[in-house]
């Protein structure tokens, strides 16, 4: 990775202090604040969007903080990572009776699976017994489809943890909740705190402890905040660990799949890799490893023009109602599946809009519940499924992106590329190779593609190289899917305007967004939201007194809830009228803007 220029003139420092100052959106935790860097991302051309994303991602590694926030590279953070790595090392020595459990909801749960299976494979390669397990809220179907509701259930979280760790004498539990907010994870942490003889809890998230969510959880005396406070006390004697650096607000407000997901991957990989090392875990070892990810980030964005071109191609497909398909190999393919599945809750996307497929399908994944194909079309994830179900319908309006590297079977990639090329010229590739090892056959694939981003990495140990390539692929895919949805009008300023309202966090986020954009009171906004959820112009007593759980459950069956609610609220029209306005103007941003102008 050659030295790479930083993005030109998005002044990171002056804006950083903006969001860090105590009076910047003071009622919101960092993970929900809006990022000053991306205020105009909804109107920016692709090249500027990529620059904004780069500047936002670079905030993860900023060291200096004049305020309260711990950072990824803070001394205290590095020391905590060293301590956790030592705990993992103890578990590796006693695989029979010990376990590391990774758990989370949505993206955090998907990454828990991604890393648990990746590190178990690595252990097997080194002739060790596997010690990693994962728990994702909603079970394996949540790996590839949006299942937001189980996130609200602390009892379910605790039960799943208990089940997966049955009979073990020592368990290191790593709960990930980027916003320090998911009740599912709070329930698990509480379970650990009540069974300290077996469980040591580690919490990964990206807000300072005092910003942990303090909303009461129905049927339960806990809040996320109360659990964190207990953990803080135990952290003083290393009976619990908090890994919660501030990363700065997400590029799209609240979209923790972006920086939150990337930092989760970085932190846990650094810890687990360090625990494998034969030499003692040192401060510098951890710090250097983190810095290698920073370089990988800069290196990825040194391809910003190519990333922007890909974003435009994907945007064109979505704008004309067509599809984007990621066809990947190995862990890069899995990242494609993850990125695609996040688009539904974030942008109100249909599962057909952006789809991922991985070579080998479920055989490649080794997930807890095995082959899920029979659960429905969303769960068809292999290249064969793509060939059977998608290829016959492909046209030049669809975008196909191949994700592969020099460690994959290039002949197989070429074969699939040929098949796709027969149906569409809109085929692109992101290819990772190592300097000095360029594969000649890869040229044939290039010729079939209308663009190829070639990432040429310096020599590294194979595991580390793979982790860096994965981060790079994640950043690329997040940029492509976010940019494409911006072009489709699913982002207003830097807010997700068509988010799903399928759990309590998303419901509150939607209500807050409506207040912010409309200037109406909290109760007026919530009323409009409920009308859109239940598709009625007048709220009955019954609806008004239903639980939040019923609201979010019902919201799962409706489409465009937030845009509908906003159009009704701003123009005073009926739900039917709002529906027809949104049909005439499917660019949600423009429909809402039109209402804002005339209100």
Query: CB of 349: closest distance to ligand F1P in angstroms?
Result: 12
- Residue of 7, 29, 104, 201 that binds ligand F1P (CB under 6 A): 104
Smaller CB distance to ligand F1P: residue 149 or 530?
149
d(CA 354, CA 343): 8
- Which residues ranging from 201 to 220 are in contact with ligand F1P (CB under 6 A)? none
Nearer to ligand F1P, 138 or 361 (CB): 138
Q: Which stretch binds ligand F1P (CB under 6 A): 62-70, 100-108, 121-129, 454-462?
A: 100-108
Binding part of the chain for ligand F1P, among 32-40, 103-111, 310-318, 321-329 by CB under 6 A, reads: 103-111
Query: Of 175-204, which residues contact ligand F1P (CB under 6 A)?
Result: 176-179, 181-182
Our finding on whether 118 is near ligand F1P (CB under 6 A) is no
Interaction residues for ligand F1P, span 137-176 (CB under 6 A): 148, 151, 176
User: Does residue 333 bind ligand F1P (CB under 6 A)?
Assistant: no
Identify how many contiguous H helices and E strands the chain contains and give both numbers: 25, 12
Whether 393 contacts 387, CB under 8 Å: no
513 lines the binding site for ligand F1P (CB under 6 A): no
Residue closer to ligand F1P, measured from CB, 367 or 503: 503
**Residue with Cβ nearer ligand F1P (151 or 527):** 151
Q: Is 289 in the site for ligand F1P (CB under 6 A)?
A: no
Contacts of 418 (CB under 8 A, 6+ apart): 448
- H helix or E strand, kind and range, residue 496: strand 495-496
CB 116 within 8 A of CB 134: yes
What is the SS3 assignment for 281?
A: coil
**Distances in Å between the alpha carbon of 520 and those of 9, 10, 533, 540, 596?**
36, 33, 18, 21, 12
Alpha-carbon gap, residue 102 to 91, rounded angstroms: 14
The residue within the footprint of ligand F1P, chosen from 105, 135, 340, 420 (CB under 6 A), is 105
User: 468 to each of 36, 113, 262, how far by Cα in Å?
Assistant: 28, 18, 11
Q: What is the DSSP letter of 256?
A: T
Residue from 15, 34, 35, 107 binding ligand F1P (CB under 6 A): 107
Q: Rule CB under 6 A: is residue 445 a binding residue for ligand F1P?
A: no
Q: Least distance from C-beta 339 to ligand F1P, angstroms?
A: 11
Give backbone dihedrals phi and psi of 218, rounded to 5 degrees, phi first.
Answer: -55, 140
Q: Is 38 in the site for ligand F1P (CB under 6 A)?
A: no
Residue 277: CB minimum distance to ligand F1P, A? 28
Structure tokens at 168: 């073990």
Q: How many residues bind ligand F1P, per CB under 6 A?
A: 19
Q: What is the DSSP-derived secondary structure letter of residue 212?
A: S
Q: Which of residues 237-266 bind ligand F1P (CB under 6 A)?
A: 256-257
Contact characters 483-512, ligand F1P, x per CB under 6 A = ----------------------xx------
Among 7, 106, 138, 330, binds ligand F1P (CB under 6 A): 106
Instruction: Report the nearest approach of ligand F1P to the CB of residue 573 (Å).
Output: 29
**Residue 472: both structure tokens together:** 């790079």
What does each C-alpha distance from 302 to 222, 335, 443, 453 come to in angstroms? 46, 21, 22, 11
CA distance 540 to 38: 40
With CA atoms as reference, report the closest residue to 454 among 243, 310, 250. Answer: 310
Q: Which residue is nearest to ligand F1P (CB)?
A: 106
**Separation between Cα atoms, residue 493 and residue 251, nearest integer Å:** 10
| By CB under 6 A, residue 345 contacts ligand F1P | yes
Q: Give yes or no for residue 482 binding ligand F1P (CB under 6 A).
A: no
Q: Tell me how far, at minimum, the Cβ of 560 lies from ligand F1P, in Å.
A: 18
- The strand order across the sheet containing 241-243 reads 132-136, 98-104, 170-176, 199-204, 241-243
Query: Applying CB under 6 A, which of residues 190, 312, 342, 408 lies at the interface with ligand F1P?
Result: 342
108 is a contact residue toward ligand F1P (CB under 6 A): yes
Stretch that binds ligand F1P, among 67-75, 99-107, 272-280, 350-358 (CB under 6 A): 99-107
Shortest gap between Cβ of 29 and ligand F1P (angstroms)?
Answer: 10
Quote the CA–CA distance of 401 and 420 in Å, as a whole number.
10
**Residue 536 to residue 533: CA distance in whole angstroms:** 8
Burial label, 57 (beta-carbon count in 10 A; 0-12, 13-18, 19+): buried
Minimum CB distance to ligand F1P, residue 473 (Å): 18
Give the CA count within 13 Å in the CB-facing half-sphere of 470.
26
CB of 42 to ligand F1P, least distance (A): 19
Q: Work out how close the CB of 254 gets to ligand F1P at its nearest, in angstroms, rounded to a whole number.
A: 6
Q: Which residues contribute to the site for ligand F1P (CB under 6 A)?
A: 104-108, 148, 151, 176-179, 181-182, 256-257, 342, 345, 505-506
């Amino acid at each position: 990775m050659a030295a790479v220029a930083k993005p030109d003139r998005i002044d990171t420092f002056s804006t950083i202090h903006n969001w860090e100052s105590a009076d910047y959106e003071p009622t919101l935790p960092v993970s929900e604040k809006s990022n000053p860097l991306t205020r105009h991302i909804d109107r920016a051309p692709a090249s500027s969007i990529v620059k904004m994303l780069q500047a936002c991602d670079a905030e993860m590694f900023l060291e200096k903080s004049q305020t309260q926030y711990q950072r990824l590279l803070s001394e205290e953070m590095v020391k905590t990572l060293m301590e956790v790595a030592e705990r993992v090392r103890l578990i590796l020595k006693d695989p029979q009776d010990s376990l590391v459990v990774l758990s989370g909801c949505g993206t955090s749960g998907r990454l828990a699976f991604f890393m648990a299976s990746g590190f178990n494979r690595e252990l097997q390669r080194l002739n060790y017994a596997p010690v990693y397990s994962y728990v994702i809220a909603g079970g394996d179907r949540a790996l590839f489809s949006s299942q937001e509701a189980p996130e609200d259930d602390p009892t379910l979280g605790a039960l799943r943890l208990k089940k997966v760790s049955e009979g073990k004498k020592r368990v290191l539990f790593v709960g990930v909740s980027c916003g320090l907010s998911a009740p599912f994870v709070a329930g698990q942490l509480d379970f650990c705190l009540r069974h300290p003889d077996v469980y040591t809890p580690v919490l990964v998230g990206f807000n300072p402890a005092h910003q942990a969510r303090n909303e009461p959880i129905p049927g339960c005396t806990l809040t996320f905040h109360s659990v964190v406070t207990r953990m803080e006390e135990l952290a003083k004697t290393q009976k619990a660990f908090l890994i919660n650096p501030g990363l700065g607000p997400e590029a799209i407000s609240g979209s923790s799949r972006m920086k939150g997901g990337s930092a989760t991957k970085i932190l846990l990989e650094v810890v687990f890799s360090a625990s494998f090392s034969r030499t003692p875990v040192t401060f510098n070892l951890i710090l250097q490893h983190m810095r290698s990810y920073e370089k990988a980030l800069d290196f990825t964005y040194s391809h910003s023009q190519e990333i922007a071109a890909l974003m435009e191609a994907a945007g064109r497909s979505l704008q004309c109602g067509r599809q984007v398909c990621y066809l990947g190999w190995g862990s890069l393919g899995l990242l494609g599946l993850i990125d695609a599945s996040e688009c539904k809750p974030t942008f109100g996307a249909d599962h057909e809009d952006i789809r991922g497929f991985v070579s080998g399908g479920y055989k490649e994944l080794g997930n807890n519940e095995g082959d899920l194909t029979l659960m429905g079309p969303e769960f068809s994830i292999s290249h064969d499924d793509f060939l059977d179900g998608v290829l016959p319908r492909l046209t030049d309006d669809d975008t196909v992106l191949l994700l592969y590297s020099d460690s994959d079977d290039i002949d197989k990639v070429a074969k699939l590329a040929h098949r796709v090329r027969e149906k569409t010229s809109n085929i692109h590739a992101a290819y990772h190779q190592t300097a000095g090892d360029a594969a000649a056959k890869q040229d044939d694939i290039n010729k079939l593609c209308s663009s190829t981003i070639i990432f040429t990495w310096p020599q590294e140990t194979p595991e580390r190289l793979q982790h860096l390539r994965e981060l790079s692929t994640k950043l690329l895919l997040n940029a492509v899917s976010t940019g494409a949805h911006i072009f489709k009008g699913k982002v207003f300023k830097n807010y997700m305007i068509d988010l799903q309202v399928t759990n309590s966090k998303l419901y509150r986020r939607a209500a807050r967004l409506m207040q912010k954009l409309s200037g109406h009171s909290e109760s007026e906004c919530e009323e409009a939201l409920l009308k859109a959820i239940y598709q009625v112009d007048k709220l009955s007593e019954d609806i008004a007194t239903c639980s939040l759980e019923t609201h979010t459950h019902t919201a799962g069956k409706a489409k465009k809830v937030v845009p509908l609610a906003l159009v009704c609220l701003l123009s005073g029209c009926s739900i039917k009228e709002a529906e027809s306005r949104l049909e005439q103007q499917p660019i949600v941003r423009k429909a809402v803007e039109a209402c804002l102008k005339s209100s």
